Each structure stands twice: as structure tokens, then as C-alpha cells.
Structure 1
Amino acid sequence: MGSVPTVTEVHVELAERPGDSPLRCSFVPLIENDLVRRLATLANPERIVFDAARGHLVDIISFQPCLRSTSQDRFVAQQLDVHGQKWTFTGVFDGHLGDATVEHTAYHLPIIVKQSLQKVITGPASPAPGPELIRNILSNAITSFDDAIAGDVLKLFPGGLTSLENRTDEEIQAVVNDFDGPNGGGGGANYQKAKLCLYGTTALFALVDPAHENLWVANLGDCEAVLVTPGTDGRLARHEVLNVLHNGSNPAEIARVRRDHPGEPESVLNGRVLGTIAPFRCIGDAAFKQPAIFTRRVLYNLYPGVADPTPWEVFLARNRTPPYISSEPDVIHRRLGHPRSLLILATDGLGELYDGAGRGERVADWARYVAEGAGAANLALRLLRHALGGEDLMSISQMITLDMETPWMDDTTIIVQAL
């Protein structure tokens, strides 16, 4: 992240901290030019052009205004070359607890999808796979990728889970903390594998075929996908939400977990899985997918260890019949028939900027604003500014220049893709 530009005029005032907190903190009121530069520095807007002649491009921002914090969001926007055919892969990933798993996912998942496509598209003249086959490819890519995260660690111990109880802490530490391995001081291969089990990430990605006739959206977690169709007059003609939310706001997700764990009233508590974690489906988070012995013996022994296991033990005591978090994605398919269709992919930080607005209301607002944004230098940046306050310079200044040590808003990543 680059340095923040010096503002033309600086006044230190007091502002209420977002989120109805009684805390007060200083901020810097910005004039228009300074606000534009500050937003660009914080959001790092990027435009990737896949096909200029056909207007196939992707606008991206990834935003965290707290300079003392590193974003745990990641994004992907690339073309997958499958025997000369160009499939477009775009996605947003919202990591939690740490960034090892989200980084691993954003890097490897497109590779796995490409390899899976190459198995069914064997040459440049191969017929296009049917929509259901692609849906299965994407679903299997995610579940097998997630299974390997804990599976690769268990392979380090002959006998797997059943062998952990009879091993000493020192024996387990010698396996997972291989700091003298080929990766040197950053930890060896075993350590890197085990770290992935500590953290988790949501995943929301889109795949578009080479002819741009078909769109698939795969989802785990609570990011947002919206298909936008502008009208001929430059206004919004229609929009469609392309994913359900896998969190406690979705009664179907709560019912699914409780149905899978009968007699366990604390499988969902206070809208969270085992009373602890918000997403009901994600990649990683092995502590919610493996028996408690995996966490107590492997993860507790992973360097630097768990200083205070008390919070972990609260939910591990409820972990009776894992897995509680699913890695099975929802995958939907849509035919693309409009030459100006746009796709919005966003992490949940965007929705959290709409205080008090329901999902339908805020999604409709995004769709309208993006549809009317023809000619904008970056539609994702345009949408971010709108969500932060639009033309209200004072409101945006308070949102992006608060003088605080810790983040006051969630990481926010937005992709707007011209299909």
C-alpha cells in the first residue's frame, strides 16, 4: 500500500466512530481532489482488459482504510487457457483469522479449475461441455481442494486421526514445526500445510465460457453476486442476485446444520456455527470440520502454540459430530444474452457500508448505480464511493481518515465485470 497523499487543507475534528460506538476519534476533512486521490491510494483501482474489441473487461478495487491493518480479502481476475480457448475466471475471497488460507485458495483454485476443464476439453476442436458438467466440475474442484487441506496434514501421521491420541506433544511438534525444512525460517512444507487448517475463507467466483454465452457462479459463504442488465437508455433494466448467503441470516442454512446434527442445540448458537463462526460454508477452518482431537493435538502444537485455549475449548466442547461447516458450494448457471451485461462480485464489507438497509434494497442500489455508470474510469471504484457516501465529502472523510489503531470497517473488495 502506497503512502497517503497530503491533503490541501487539514482540520482535526471529532467524529462518532461508525457502528454506533460511543468512542470518538479525529478525522481529516477532505476537499474533492484530495478525496479522489486518497480513495485511489486506499482502494488500488485496477482495470484488466481481456478483449477490448468486445468490451470484455474487469474493474477491481480492494479497500481497507486503516493503514495499520492488512486486508484479508483477495481477488482473482484471469483467463484460463484451455487448449487455446479462453475461459474467464473472476472471484473474491474473504479470509478470516489470518491470510494463509485465503492466499492459498486465491492462487490454487483457478489452477485446479483449469486442470479440471482440460480433462473434459481435450483439444481446441472439442465440443463445449454441457452446463451441468461444468457445474459438477466447479463443485468438485472446491470440495476436493478443501478436503486436501486437513487431509494433507493427517497424511503426515501414519494412522491418521486415531494415531494422534498416542503421540506426545513433542512428537507432533517435530512433525508440524519443520523449520529446518526446504523453506527455511518461514517453516517447512509440513508447517505451511498445517497453517492452512488454522484459518478459513469464503469463496465466490464466476466462470464464463470463451463465447461469453454461459456464466457459472460458485459460492461458499456470504459474499455477493449480482447480474446487472442495463437498458438501452443507460438505466437499469433488471438485476438478479446470483447467490444465497451462507450465514446466520439464512434460515435454510441454520436448518441444514441443525438437521445434520440432531440433538445438538448448540450446533448453531446466536446465529453462529457452534456459537463461534459466522460463515456456515467456507474453505479451511479445520477446527469446525475435524474432530476436536485434531485441533487439540495438531493445531495447539503448531508454532507458536495457543496462548489461551479457553475460547477454543468453548466451541470444541460442542464439537461432537463434525463437520459443522460445509465446503459444498452452490453453483448456478445462466445463459448470457445481453451484450452489455455486468457482473458484480463483492465481499461482505460492501453490504456492511449500508447501515440498516436490507439485502434487496442495497443490491438494487448497486445494480442501478453500476448500470448508470457507463464511461466511468472504474466501475468498482465508482460503486465504492457511492457506498461510502457519494458526494457527501464530510461523510466519506469520516469513513476513510479516522485516526484509529484498529480497523473500523470490514475489508471490502469489489469486482465489476463487463460480460
Structure 2
Amino acid sequence: MSTSPSRCLSDWRELSTRTCSSSISAGIHCVTFQPTPGTPNKDRFVAQEWDIDGQQWKFLAILDGDCTAEYSATALPGRIEAELRGVVERYKRRFGRSRETFIKRIYYFDKEIGDAVKELCPDPSLLDDEQARNLIDAHREVFQRAYCGSTLAVALLDNERNHLWIAGLGDSTVGLTYTSPDGYGDGERLLTLHSTHTPSEYFTILMRHPTTEKKTIIQDEPLGDYTLKFESIYTSKLFFKLAGRTEDFLTSIQANNKTPPYIMNVPDTRYIDLAPLRHRNPTLVLFTDGVDVIVDGETLVSKNERHTLDPAVVVGKLLGREIDSGYAQETIGHDVEVNWMGSSENRNRATEFLGNLMAGTSKETFASFLGPAERGEWDNSLCFDDTTILLYDLQASQS
């Protein structure tokens, strides 16, 4: 394939598709993307189907973080599935308690991450430097997943696709997109983002602490991140010895961590009755904040000025069978093409959507995102946030 900037659009699309990691599992279309050379993709996702009492349940999750995301993506789904099996067995088809299952299991899962540290070291003040290093070396994974953090967005869907339970921690998104009879799309965010960029969230956190702590660092990743949940001595004695954060960050935590916790591990949850929405042709969508970054025009390769649009609405508009060219140009700075991967039902709709969101029909924008890495010209002034998208069609006719 030619590496010339003048290559054709289909070549750029092929390159972007090869750069993505894409899959379709249990009818769930998944894509994750990080083109920066030498930069590992820290997003994780889960797309599973569970057979519970003869009924097929769909479970979707995305996590944006570090080793905490890796650990949670591996361990948390099984915990939720086991909890759900118990609920179904006890209450049969009365699923009202499924929301409680989410809250309980996610809260205690995160609590276990912190409890594991305190079981190993109830009082860090008793350790000298050598003892602390030896303890970390012997149990590095336990300390690492408590030290790092991850966002979480999950969705649970029953066999008939009439009942949807969702939960979220952090700034990853769960949404529904809709398609009108004339083919145009729309979308809505279903949960409040747990982020200091959300005014109500910022106010809630501030009200828990003295006014003198308004400048305290508050992160957006509520799973793990125990530097902001434990007393500062855990940071100075233990977490400070783990790589991954700047010394300025850790110094700030030591100086400002007066009344922890500063982030909470109680998820925002919601139940949605999908039956009344069936006529709107709904699609379930989960995505990490890499999508927000593109929509907001924050990528340094983007030509757009920063926007204040709701990414869930933009996603819905771009997933329609018909897309207003003027809207696309205004919001993301380029035109898009519906079904550019073809009309096959086997095409990955998440990958197709990401291509439209990132560059659409613009060879110049594709070249900005993908060209420097391919030519070995990437530098630190160019960045692209990890981006993960899951799509699941909620139409009753789908198998």
C-alpha cells in the first residue's frame, strides 16, 4: 500500500481498520483504537452472553484505566454473573433487584481492592523504607491495582431485550441511539458522568470536604485510585514507590489529602424499560472518553475549535441510516459516508462508526491521524486518547 499523503480514501480507511482491534461477540460490535506508536491501549472491554436459567443475558462493559482496568475486566464480570444467578434463582422473573445487584457488586468489588492493601499493611507508619519496598515487591499486583484507577460503564440486558440495567463510575458513557422512520439518528446519555467536569458532581464532592480543600486533586476514575481514598500516609510510605504518576502529583496528594475519600465507589445506576422505545429502533452504545475528545475537538490533529456538544447526541446522529452532511461538517469538521464498509450484516458497525467519527471522507484528516505514525514522524505534540466503542442493536428481530 502506498505511503504517499495523496493515497486514496479507501487506502486510508483500510489502514485505519488495520490499526483498530475489532470484534463481534454475541452480536455486540466492538472496536478499540490507539494509533500512537509505543503507547499501549489501556482501555478494556467485555462483551459476553450468559445462559442463566435457560435465558440468554447480554453483558457489556468498558473500562478506561491502567492495570485496574485489566484486573476489573477479568474479575468483575464473573462476580456480577454469580450475583445475578442468585437473584434469578431466588426471585425468578422478578428482576427489580438486578439494579441492587449492580450497586452491591461494584461497590464491594472496589472495596476488596482497597481492603487487600490494608490486610497487607494495616499501619504504614510502622514500616521503614526497606520494609515498605519489600512488601511492595512481594505483592506488587495488589498495590498496583489499588494505586491505579479505571472508569467503568456496564450494561445488562435480559433475554427479550425489554429490560436494561446500566451502571457507571467515571467519565465513560452509556447511551441509547434512535433512528427515525426517515432514517435520521439521535442519541441520549443515560447516566451522569462521574467527573469534575460535570458541575453537579464537582459540587457534590466539594460539599463533602472543607472549603480549604477546593484545590485538592480530584480524579475521574473511581475504581481503584486509592491515593484519593486512603490516608496520605499510604501514598508517602507505599504508593509513592510505584511508577506511573509524576512526583508532583504524589507530592500534591500528600499535601492536600486531609479528609479522604475524595472519590466514591458507589455507581450511578438506572433501569430502563425498553418495550416503549421499540418503535424508535434503539441501539445500545457504550464508549470511553476518547469519543468525547474527538467530538470536543481536543485532539491536536483536529481542525475544529473546541465544542461543548453532548457526545451521545453526536454518536446518535452519526449512526443514522441518513446523515445530514451539514451537521457532520459543523460538529466534527468533515463529511461522512453511511455503510462505507458495505451493506453486509457481518460488517463491524463500531469500526465503521469510528472511521466516520475520526475522519469520514476526509483524506487530509486521516493523514493527520495516521500518517505521522506510519512514516515514523510521530512526536509528543501529537496524541490520541484510547478510544473504545461497543454497539448492540436492540431490535426484537435480531437473533
TM range (shorter): 0.7 to 0.9
- The equivalent of 1:260 in structure 2 is 208
- The equivalent of 2:389 in structure 1 is 414
The CA deviation at 1:40 is 1.1
The answer to whether the aligner puts 1:206 opposite 2:206 as a matched pair is no
Native 8 Å contact 2:240 2:250 kept in 1: no
Q: Deviations over 1:273-302 (max 9, x none)?
A: x23x541x5101110010001111222345
Structure 1 gaps of 5+ residues are 1-6, 12-27, 51-56, 179-189
Using a 3 Å threshold, how does the CA distance of structure 1 residues 143 and 380 change in structure 2: closer, same or farther?
same
- The equivalent of 2:302 in structure 1 is none
Using a 3 Å threshold, how does the CA distance of structure 1 residues 40 and 318 change in structure 2: closer, same or farther?
same
1:343 maps to which of 284, 297, 314 = 284
Native 8 Å contact 2:177 2:315 kept in 1: no
Structure 2 CA distance for aligned equivalents of residues 322 and 118 of structure 1: 35
- The equivalent of 1:357 in structure 2 is 307
Native 8 Å contact 1:30 1:394 kept in 2: no
The answer to whether the aligner puts 1:404 opposite 2:378 as a matched pair is yes
- The equivalent of 1:392 in structure 2 is 362
The CA deviation at 1:251 is 1.0
**Runs of 4+ more than 6 Å apart:** 305-308
Native 8 Å contact 1:68 1:405 kept in 2: no
2:87 maps to which of 116, 120, 123 = 120
- The equivalent of 1:74 in structure 2 is 44
- Output the amino acid matched with 2:135: V
- Please identify, of 286-295 and 220-229, the stretch whose mean Cα deviation from structure 2 is larger: 220-229
Structure 2 CA distance for aligned equivalents of residues 166 and 265 of structure 1: 28
TM-score, with structure 1 as normaliser: 0.79
Q: Deviations over 1:203-236 (max 9, x none)?
A: 0111101221111111111112221222333333
- Output the amino acid matched with 2:230: Q
Using a 3 Å threshold, how does the CA distance of structure 1 residues 222 and 30 change in structure 2: closer, same or farther?
farther
Structure 1 CA distance for aligned equivalents of residues 119 and 367 of structure 2: 51
Structure 2 CA distance for aligned equivalents of residues 111 and 307 of structure 1: 30
- Output the amino acid matched with 1:325: I
Structure 2 CA distance for aligned equivalents of residues 359 and 310 of structure 1: 32
Matches for 1:19-418 after TM superposition, within 5 Å: 28-48=5-25, 50=26, 57-95=27-65, 99-122=66-89, 127-131=92-96, 133-157=97-121, 160=122, 163-178=123-138, 190-236=139-185, 238-266=186-214, 269=215, 274-275=216-217, 277-279=218-220, 282-302=222-242, 309-337=247-275, 338=278, 340-354=281-295, 355=297, 356-360=306-310, 362-372=311-321, 375=343, 377-402=347-372, 403-406=377-380, 408-418=383-393
Native 8 Å contact 1:135 1:331 kept in 2: yes
Structure 2 CA distance for aligned equivalents of residues 114 and 127 of structure 1: 15
Q: Secondary structure at the match of 1:401?
A: helix
Structure 2 gaps of 5+ residues are 298-305, 322-337, 395-399
- Output the amino acid matched with 2:386: D
Structure 1 CA distance for aligned equivalents of residues 48 and 245 of structure 2: 40
Q: Secondary structure at the match of 1:69?
A: coil
Native 8 Å contact 2:88 2:95 kept in 1: no
Aligned CA RMSD, in angstroms, stands at 2.2
- The equivalent of 1:23 in structure 2 is none
- Output the amino acid matched with 2:227: A
- Bigger helix share: 2
Using a 3 Å threshold, how does the CA distance of structure 1 residues 319 and 120 change in structure 2: closer, same or farther?
same
The CA deviation at 1:34 is 1.5
How many residues end up aligned between the 2 structures?
Answer: 356
Q: Deviations over 1:114-141 (max 9, x none)?
A: 1111222228xx622333x111110111
Structure 1 CA distance for aligned equivalents of residues 219 and 6 of structure 2: 35
Q: Deviations over 1:247-282 (max 9, x none)?
A: 22211111111110023333xx3xxxx23x541x51
- Output the amino acid matched with 1:359: L
Q: Deviations over 1:126-172 (max 9, x none)?
A: 622333x1111101111111111121111123xx1xx3212222223
- Output the amino acid matched with 1:412: T
Structure 2 CA distance for aligned equivalents of residues 397 and 306 of structure 1: 31
- Output the amino acid matched with 1:150: G
